[in-house]
Structure 1
Amino acid sequence: MTYADTQRPRRDERRISPVFWVLLAVLGTSAWAVWTGFGENDRFGVFLFVVSGWVVSLCLHEYAHARTALHGGDLTVGAKGYLTLNPFKYANTLLSVILPVIFVVLGGIGLPGGAVFIERHRIRSRWKHSAISAAGPAVNLVLAVALLAPIGAGWLATAPAGFVVALAFLGLLQITATVLNLIPVPGFDGYGIIEPWLSLRARRAAQQVAPFGMLAVFALLWQTPAGDWLWRLAYQVMELLDVPPALASIGYSAFRFWEN
């Protein structure tokens, strides 16, 4: 066996999946369709643009977790396919892709993903543990700024209105995903950031409620004023970037093409 033969599997583990290239192709094509007004239903183009862009961001979110874990000491993430940006390689496709898309459709909220299985016993530093959990929300925050800053800076002043509002709505999803991910409740990345610094007793107690943490948070968002708090905070972030929240609202209306 040659040296090249021993290295080929590792390169394969990091090769971008055709699935991700297809997602990028859908994103690019739908962006062009919205920009040019191609097709009879511009709102369906907005729908495709937002959904494909959202799934791409989910892939990048999970990739950030896996890549940080790789540098932190978990060399198994490559063999699991986490470095290929293939959403079907996640430990739980339902939690990482399907449910987040459903929540966008139903409520316009960026539901956190979170289903790459990191072998935490391989990570020897508490700081590295925290960095692994923080990497995903950091990606969402960067994407939010990248999507919204051009609008706030006036660079898209002459762009088609449909494209601008679609971009604003996709940026809003990144903000809500960042905020929700940073909630320090078991099941969210925010808890993963602080978990290494908690006592063993506290971590064991948290493990008992971890399966219900995400459900409890979303029940609060829908049934209590906590949901209003989330939207106020998200809109404040948009205003910091000089983007009127109304643009995202219009984008969400356009996204729901099945409504009159």
Structure 2
Amino acid sequence: MTATSIRPRDRRISPVFLGILAVTAVAGWATWTGFAARPGVAVFLFVTAAWVVSLCLHEYAHARTALHSGDISIAAKGYLTLNPVKYTHALLSIVLPVAFVIMGGIGLPGGAVFIERGRIRGRWRHSLISAVGPLTNVLFAVVCTAPFWLDALDGVPADFRFALAFLALLQVTAAILNFLPVPGLDGYGVIEPWLSHGVRRQVEPFAPFGLLFVFALLWLPALNGAFFDAVDGILSALGISDLETYCGQNLYRFWQETDTFCSVSR
């Protein structure tokens, strides 16, 4: 089988993904128009659905690049359909990232497409397969922030603006965390092909714990502060203020009381 002879059904976009897109569109419309009785519910659905869409695109980017790099087994595994339930670790790619957004407003890196690396030749190809996932988050962040850095916010309702700001924050945090050169994350996957065989063998046992190590470090106040200072700096450069991301997260957590500052800003 070659990339051009893959069965059409292996390329067909999943109804599950189309359903998530539909939820994103409807919730985005409700956020824009103020249709929902409780704006926070619409923001919650819009941001969560859009976040899952970005996770699917992140994994699809890995899979598609692997396919064109030589791993034709990708298609039969269902990775090209954008169906989140086809991932080898749906818990890591979908459930935990959504849970962390709800709990802490952090874009948790996913990473659950199984790539048969032995089919792929060339270190640059291996590095590119790892890099395209977080680059998808970067692209998503650019799209979310476009109205801000293009100064095109006239007529954009405050709730929708806050929702975009919070969604952009999630994409930036996901991109930064994913690009860390820590075993188990995409950043390490970028540099791994260039390491010696001995170093790779020594590091390999730690890969399953890399993400846990990163989040343990983020519990340290000093590192947590430095991380979010970097995130805020990037968002500020893209035209998004701390108040906008804060109000977006405040609206997203609709089960909590809305902050007075955010109510006034709306």
Which bin holds the TM-score, normalised by the shorter protein? over 0.9
Q: CA RMSD in A?
A: 1.2
- What is aligned with 1:26? 23
Decide which of 59, 79, 82 is 1:82's aligned counterpart. 79
- What is aligned with 2:245? 248
CA-CA distance at 1:224 after TM superposition: 4.1
After the TM superposition, which of the residue ranges 150-159 and 77-86 deviates more from structure 2? 150-159
- What is aligned with 1:3? none
SS class of match (1:155)? coil
Matches within 5 A, 1:110-189: 110-189=107-186
Q: Contact 1:151 / 1:157 at 8 angstroms: preserved in 2?
A: no
* Letter paired with 1:26: V
CA deviation digits over 1:155-199, x for unaligned, max 9? Answer: 122211000000010011000000000000011000000000001
- What is aligned with 2:255? 258
CA deviation digits over 1:122-158, x for unaligned, max 9? Answer: 1101000000000001100011011002123221222
Distance 1:100 1:229 in 2: 21
Decide which of 199, 215, 218 is 2:215's aligned counterpart. 218
Matches within 5 A, 1:35-54: 35-54=32-51
Equivalenced residue count is 254
Decide which of 62, 67, 70 is 1:70's aligned counterpart. 67
Give the unaligned 5+ runs of structure 2: 258-266
Distance 2:243 2:116 in 1: 43
Distance 2:180 2:64 in 1: 22
CA deviation digits over 1:24-44, x for unaligned, max 9? Answer: 000000000000101211101
Decide which of 90, 94, 105 is 2:91's aligned counterpart. 94
Distance 1:83 1:229 in 2: 37
- What is aligned with 2:261? none
After the TM superposition, which of the residue ranges 78-87 and 151-160 deviates more from structure 2? 151-160
* Letter paired with 1:170: L
* Letter paired with 1:130: S
Percent identity (aligned) = 56
Decide which of 226, 236, 241 is 1:239's aligned counterpart. 236
* Letter paired with 2:214: V
* Letter paired with 2:141: A
List, as ranges, runs of 4+ consecutive aligned residues in structure 1 with deviation greater than 6 Å: none
Q: Contact 1:151 / 1:243 at 8 angstroms: preserved in 2?
A: yes
CA-CA distance at 1:235 after TM superposition: 0.9
CA deviation digits over 1:232-260, x for unaligned, max 9? Answer: 11111111112213211110000001111
SS class of match (2:182)? coil
* Letter paired with 2:90: T
| Alignment TM-score, normalising by the size of structure 1 | 0.95
After the TM superposition, which of the residue ranges 143-152 and 104-113 deviates more from structure 2? 143-152
- What is aligned with 1:11? 8
Distance 1:83 1:67 in 2: 7
Give the unaligned 5+ runs of structure 1: 1-5
| Alignment TM-score, normalising by the size of structure 2 | 0.93
Distance 1:158 1:151 in 2: 12
* Letter paired with 2:184: G
